[in-house]
Structure 1
């Protein structure tokens, strides 16, 4: 079927997990689908949101909760958005300044041990009359924000009383840590590694340690754009699934790093970009590093959307009276994913929901036992059921 639109402008923020968009462009996967794609590197998530809402971008690399917040009308713009494709799992890091790192006197880098030491430092600061420590995340509606709060609260640290949380765009995080305006941050690769390599900060935790194989970025579009361009939308999804499959082949990670560096999509040293893509064992769903396709990583689980809705409620972002289930299902569209995947016979989950926190390694999901999923533990041992 003919595409409604061939010339497409996609936005991305300079992060390693934008790799599916970059690979689909540079390796010709978009072209195979009849798409002529221009990639636009944007300075912040607010810029991505505003330009997609205004139609200046057709679609974009987005934080997984952004379409939910947009559809709920709580993001300051209120243009309903949706996703039918997850771009990756894992990838974030929590880093602290060198001075705070030495104050923590860490014996091991686990969520519980780091949290206990941080709580001790914060209590000592308060007793001395010092101002609250400042930690940054990238956007009010972001996995970074919610996993940071989830970890802090799970370690008996009140993120609204014991700390000051601020928003800083990813490329500016390292500078803010260097100039002392923040004490720590949660940000996507490669910026934690950049801070550590420059001797500005130390990475103390990663996203996988807080919630194994948790969702991170998605392909986001407005609902109106998707309805006006259904075949173009499916073509975008299909091309990005192909790119994700390619990325999770271990032999391709080095080439992906070269494409990111040579295209100047992320202004970091080649060594840092290569390191960010080389973490773990690509192609295996138990990988603690960036996963792009293995373990149904590209599937837009409605249960993931429901978890984010729950965090929005927990932290008083979502007004009462909003139907959380309807919001999640309007924002995450696995039906469209299945339609795109069917074009090349790729198996995908037959259900939209799954539980979290119950699996320590590879497992399969009933009723389809052909798809392997990775570990999904939360650091505090909690379980999550979308029901």
Structure 2
């Protein structure tokens, strides 16, 4: 057995890693997968960068940021497997949410109107709203910026962004230290269940099938251990498919609820797994089948174009400079070549391309794959923009004079 240590945070989207270990998928590939539960993304990052673990459940933008030297000690990170698609939400305190559309479902169904409502609510709130984010370099924070910028807000001026571990968001909301937060499940549903907040937007509503968490390695370790990486990816592929099967959701929720994993009630975890999202305490959950999923529609494929969208947002918000070397380094973080190598000849279809126009699909579309065809779902941004990875400069220019 080959030992592999992997750090993770207590989030529903860590499911594939947990299932790979707990249900024997890793063992079947000769991997002794040792999971290390941590509390913050900064800790996970440091464990990986300094070699305490060989792999990590990681925010996709954080993997890019570390590679570009934007987040603590620079190190080349390789992410050959996406652990999920979407899965985060914006939860506001009941006080702040009261300034938005009184019908909670309308807020989710119309993210454009909700963004404008939120912009108007900022000036009426008792203080500049303090919104918790899990890390500066998170998909949650980038999608929040993208959404707020559409409504003419500058997230660095009009609100205060406070970094907190996901597991501390609910307590910070309870204490009045923040007025809302954006995080992955189950923490939004926990806040709703405790009557502390209301879900007003989802990551899937801002960017359908947007990039979220990845399995990350140090690039040098990945290149030195190709067989181990391939076996681990095959185990995760099987685990992710198991997680996506509705027949397994009850058992998965029970597993994740254990204190060594997510440690929250199974009935709350099960909501997002089944595509049910509770918006307000006591209200009926809405149906949101694309809120979070783990395997279907090439969910685990690391599109290089999504790494470049992340890079474009870093440049847009002044986190990185526009530079050909940075662009190339960012694109190389999501390693579609390694994914294809590991899963070649298996039952999971492999897309024929490594980049695509992000946001171009408004309906399911059959695309080429090694097994014939593969259907990809709608990946639209809420504002209708399309990101062409070959035209990053023009894309960024289109946001001016916005923030």
Identify the TM-score tier after normalising by the shorter chain. over 0.9
- Give the one of 378, 386, 389 matched to 1:386: 389
Q: How many residues were matched structurally?
A: 375
> What is the Cα deviation at residue 15 of structure 1?
0.1
Match of 2:291 among 264, 289, 292: 289
Q: Which residue of 2 aligns with 1:16?
A: 12
Distance in 1 separating the partners of 2:358 and 2:22: 35
**CA–CA distance in structure 1, aligned partners of residues 223 and 305 of structure 2:** 23
1:154 is aligned to 2:157: no
Deviation of 1:150 after TM superposition, in Å, equals 0.4
User: 2:40 aligned with 1:44, yes or no?
Assistant: yes
What is the deviation of 1:48?
Answer: 0.4
| Cα pair 2:202 2:291 within 8 Å, conserved | no
Q: Offset of 1:372 from its aligned partner?
A: 0.6
From the superposition, tell whether residues 164 and 118 of structure 1 become closer, same or farther in structure 2 (CA, over 3 Å): same
Q: Which residue of 1 aligns with 2:80?
A: 84
CA deviations on 1:137-171 (whole Å, 9 max, x unpaired) are 11111101100000000112111111111111100
Match status 1:112 vs 2:93: no
Equivalent residue number for residue 123 of structure 2 = 123
- In the TM superposition, 1:139-150 aligns within 5 A as 139-150=135-146
Q: What is the CA-CA distance between 1:123 and the residue it aligns to?
A: 2.7
Relative to 1, partners in 2 of residues 1:346 and 1:120: Cα closer, same or farther, differing over 3 Å?
Answer: closer
The equivalent residue for 1:35 is: 31
SS in 2 for 1:331: coil
User: C-alpha separation between the residues in 2 aligned to 1:38 and 1:249?
Assistant: 24
Aligned to 2:333: 331
Q: Matches of 2:91 and 2:250 in 1, distance apart? A: 25
Q: What are the within-5 Å matches in structure 2 for residues 1-387 of structure 1? A: 6-107=2-103, 108-109=106-107, 110-125=110-125, 131-262=127-258, 264-279=260-275, 287-342=289-344, 344-366=346-368, 370-387=373-390
Q: CA deviation at 1:175?
A: 0.7
**Measured at CA, do residues 156 and 376 of structure 1 come closer, stay the same or move farther in structure 2, by a change above 3 Å?**
same
**What is the CA distance between 1:234 and its match in structure 2?**
1.0
Kindly indicate whether the alpha-carbon contact (under 8 Å) linking 2:82 and 2:300 is maintained by their aligned counterparts in 1.
yes
Partner of 1:93, secondary structure, is strand
Shift of 1:358: 2.2
Q: Tell me by how many angstroms 1:28 deviates.
A: 0.6
Q: When the two structures are superposed, what TM-score results if normalisation uses the length of structure 1?
A: 0.93
Equivalent position SS for 2:160: strand
SS in 1 for 2:199: strand
CA distance in 2, matches of 1:191, 1:263: 15
**Deviation by residue 1:182-232 (Cα, 9 ceiling, x = unmatched):** 111110000000000000111111111101111110000001111221111
| Shift in Å, 1:329 | 3.2
Question: Which runs of 5 or more structure 2 residues have no equivalent in the other structure?
Answer: 278-287, 391-403
Counterpart-to-counterpart distance in 2, 1:356 and 1:99: 36
Gaps of 5+ in 1: none
In the alignment, the residues of structure 1 paired with residue 347 and residue 263 of structure 2 have an alpha-carbon distance, to the nearest angstrom, of 37
Contact 1:359 1:375 in 2 (8 A): yes
- Give, in angstroms, the shift of residue 262 of structure 1: 3.2
User: In the alignment, is the contact (CA less than 8 A) between 2:79 and 2:302 conserved in 1?
Assistant: yes
**Residues of 1 paired with 2:313 and 2:11: CA distance?**
24
Deviates more, 1:312-321 or 1:256-265: 256-265
Alignment root-mean-square deviation, CA: 1.8
Instruction: Please report how far the alpha carbon of residue 345 of structure 1 lies from its aligned counterpart in structure 2 after TM superposition.
Output: 4.6
State the shift of 1:173 in Å.
Answer: 0.5
Q: Which whole-Å deviations, capped at 9, do the CAs of 1:59-87 have from their partners, x for residues lacking one?
A: 01000112211111111111211100011
Tell me if structure 2 keeps the 8 A contact 1:106–1:117.
no
